[in-house]
Amino acid sequence: MDYTKILSEITSELTEVIGKGKVADYIPALAEIDSSKFGMSVSTINGESFSVGDVDEKFSIQSISKVFSLTLAFSKLGENIWKRVGREPSGNAFNSLVQLEYENGIPRNPFINAGALVITDMLITTLKEPYTELLNFVRSLSDSRNINYDKRVAQSERENGFTNAALVNFLRSQNNIQNDVEKVLDVYFHYCSITMTTKELAKSFLFLSNHGLIPDKKQRVLTKSQAKRINALLLTCGTYDEAGDFSYLVGMPGKSGVGGGIAAIIPNELSVAVWSPALNKKGNSLAGIKALELFTTKTGMSIF
C-alpha cells in the first residue's frame, strides 16, 4: 500500500474543506488556534510511519485523552469499572446534564464528559500520582518523552468549565464521585490538556490495533478481550452523538477531541491520526472526518 501517495491525494482533495467549521472558542486557549492547520499520520504495526502536513506541531488532544484514562483504569480495575459507568451510545451532546439526571448519575459511557469524570475519579483513588502516572503512560504508548500537559489550556478550561463543574457535582450528589470534586476537575482538565503531534498520537493508538500489545516493545497494555471491548466502545461512542455517521462514513473505531484531533485504528494493520482544528456542529473535526472517509475509501480498508 502506497500510503505516501494516498495521504498526498487526500490532502489535495481537502483543499476546499480545511478551515471550514469553527474552532472550540468556548475554551479561550483553543480559540486562538489557526483553523487552516492540517496534519495526518499513519503508523503500521510493522513499524512503518507515513505523514503529511502539520504533523510535527503539538495540539491539545482534549477528549482523545479519555481513551488513555479508560485504558489505564480498565487495566487496573477490570470489569469493576462498569458498576459506575455504562457502555451505550449517548445520543446526546457530550456534556448533557439532562441525560445524567434522567439516568440517576450513571453516565451512559466513558467517553462523554460525565463518564470520563467518573473514570478520572477511579484513577485518583487507584493511582498514587494520577498526574504523573497518566502522563508517563501516554509517553510509553507513543514512545516519546516529549509529551506534556499544557498548563495554559488546563487553566483556561478550569476557569471556564462550568458545565463540567455541574456534572461532577451532580455525580457527587448521586454518590458516583468519591474524591474531592475540585481535585477530580483539576486532574480531568490536565488530562484533556495533553499536547501531542499526529505522529505521536498515531503511534500511541497502535496497541489497540494490535490486540492490546505495543508492537515494537512487545509490551501488553490490555488483554485481547479488553482491547476488543475498548475498540467496540470507540466505534459506538467515540465521536459522541455523531458515532453513527462516523461509522457509516469512515468504518473505523475512533476517538475525537474538540482540539480538532481524531485517532482511529484498523485491527491487525494500523492506526491513523488526523488534526484539523475547525469543528462541525457535533464538535468533531470537519476536515478530519472527511480525511478519514477518504482514507478508508482509497485504501479499501475498514472493519466492515
Q: Which amino acid is at 294?
A: L
Which of 255, 260, 149 lies closest to 205, judged by CA? 255
pLDDT given at position 128: 96
- Residue 75 bears catalytic tag: no
Residue-wise pLDDT for 95-118, tens only, equals 889 989 999 999 999 999 999 999
- Residue 240 bears catalytic tag: yes
pLDDT given at position 244: 95
pLDDT given at position 149: 97
Which of 193, 173, 157, 166 lies closest to 69, judged by CA? 193
- Residue 63 bears catalytic tag: yes
Which of 278, 269, 273 lies closest to 292, judged by CA? 273
User: Measured between alpha carbons, how far is residue 272 from residues 32, 73, 93, 277 in Å?
Assistant: 25, 24, 25, 16
Residues of the chain with pLDDT under 70: none
- Residue 26 bears catalytic tag: no
pLDDT given at position 217: 86
- Residue 258 bears catalytic tag: yes
Cα–Cα dist 264/92, whole Å = 22
Q: Which of 43, 55, 66, 168 is catalytic?
A: 66
Q: Which of 188, 193, 209, 247 is catalytic?
A: 188
To the nearest 10°, the Cα dihedral for 121, 258, 252, 14? Answer: -170
pLDDT given at position 96: 86
pLDDT given at position 93: 84
Domains of the chain, each with CATH number or no CATH = 3-298 (3.40.710.10)
